[in-house]
Copies of this chain bind each other. A is one copy, B any other.
Amino acid sequence: MNLRELAQHLGLSKTTVSRALNGFSEVNEETRLRVVEAARRFNYTPNVSAKRLATGETGAFGVVLPGASAEMADPVFGEFLAGLADGAGRCGRDLYVNATFDGEEAGYRRLARAKAVDVMILANLKIDDLRIRLLSHLGLQTVTCGRTAGSLIYPHLDIDHEDGVRRAVELLAGLGHRTIALVSGPADLSASEQRMVGWHAALSRHGLSAAAHLFTAGPSTEGHGYRATRALLDAPTPPTAFVCASMFLASGCCRAIGDRGLRIGEDVSIIAHDDGLATVRPEAFEPALTTTFSSIRAAGIRVAELAAQLVGGSDPADLTEVWPVDLIFRDSAQAPPRR
């Protein structure tokens, strides 16, 4: 059942039926109801390809996966992608996932030339991310999850990692901790830089050391969390508190602390960032982890909405949001042992 057949059935023109279904004002209300009813009865759905050709919009958002598989194996990114697909679906758009087998830049160029998507979506922004400039140069509209250095204005949603870490460190310092380590994700990520800024700010406010060896960066995995924590505990003045950038890093951190025979909460405190993944819940830890929380799935949904608004003609400058994180008290952050 296509538009022409539907129109014939109704004794109307294609034009009128199209307008009735798309909510134009110049069609009689009575006629519109008749059309909508018939469309429902005949199970009519407009052909996506035809619509795209006619409107010039593709109705799709694009995500490019980096060639290295590391990002997709990251469950946080997967969850973000799920949110994106969810949000896109709600806005009546598709999510087009492109893997780059021949370099990331080539992937973007292909998409731009074929006009395959309306908006590109970028996540895991690097400090001064080159992709933003490339996309702007290619004339592709872009929405990002995260901010980066540089003067270009683009719609984005960011999570306030800086404030999250700042508040976590403030809490630990307030409890009496004097040596507070930051176990962060990949060093080249904008989010990691934000975390370091927050860490520094809170430490200097309390007059505490921000020695370089107390800051570690690396892949956001249990394995790296374990190794980093072991190394930190081996230092001459080991930290009594750890701020971890993800639940996976925190898992490794806990394991390393357990290996040393230390008790979490009593001997050593931990605050982790929780992205809200169903598979690693802070309450399931022993003891339950104090966390900074922000749902990455919700962020994905919202980014898709921002992209839809951008296509709808909103001013990019209005489409920027920074989400605060919640600090949730549980049992893993307590006062350090008396000496």
A residues with a Cβ closer than 8 A to B are 43, 45-50, 52-53, 58, 60, 65, 68-75, 77-79, 81-83, 85-90, 94-101, 107, 110, 113-116, 219, 221-223, 251, 255, 258-259, 277-281, 284, 297
Q: A58 touches which one: B49, B78, B97, B114 (CB < 8 A)?
A: B49
Which 6 A-B pairs have CB atoms at the shortest separation, nearest pair first? A85-B99, A72-B82, A78-B78, A86-B99, A49-B52, A45-B113
Query: Residue among A69, A89, A99 with the most chain B CB within 10 A?
Result: A99
- Provide the residues of chain B in CB contact with A71, threshold 8 Å: 82
**Complex interface: chain B residues within 8 A of A81 (CB):** 72, 78, 81, 97
Residues in B with CB closer than 8 Å to A75 are 72-75, 78
- Check A79–B69 contact: CB distance below 8 A: yes
Pairwise interchain contact A65-B48, C-beta atoms closer than 8 A: no
Extra inter-chain contacts (11) besides given A47-B53, A49-B52, CB under 8 Å: A48-B114, A72-B82, A73-B279, A74-B78, A83-B99, A85-B98, A88-B99, A89-B100, A94-B96, A95-B97, A95-B98
B279 touching A113, Cβ below 8 Å: no
| Cα-based distance from A213 to B222 in the complex (angstroms) | 29
Among B116, B219, B255, B278, the residue within 8 A (CB) of A69 is B278
Among B69, B83, B115, contact of A48 (Cβ-Cβ < 8 Å) = B115
Distance to closest chain B CB from A262 (angstroms): 14
B65 & A82 in contact (Cβ 8 Å cutoff) = yes
Picked from B48, B74, B114, B278, the residue with its CB within 8 Å of the CB of A116 is B48
List residues of chain B with CB within 8 A of the CB of A90: 101
Chain B residues within 8 Å of A49, by CB? 49, 52-53, 58, 115
Does B85 contact A79, Cβ atoms closer than 8 Å?
no
Across the interface, which residues of B come within 8 angstroms of A83, CB to CB? 99
Min C-beta distance of A304 to chain B, whole Å: 9
Kindly list chain B residues whose C-beta atoms are within 8 Å of the C-beta of A88. 99
* Chain B residue at minimal CB-CB distance from A1: B113
With A49-B49, A53-B49, A75-B73 already in contact, the answer to whether A280 and B221 are too (CB < 8 A) is yes
**In the complex, what residue of chain B is closest to A45 when comparing beta carbons?**
B113
Q: How far is the CA of A43 from the CA of B112 in the complex (A)?
A: 12
Cβ-closest chain B residue relative to A76: B73
**Which B residues touch A94, using CB under 8 A?**
96-98, 116
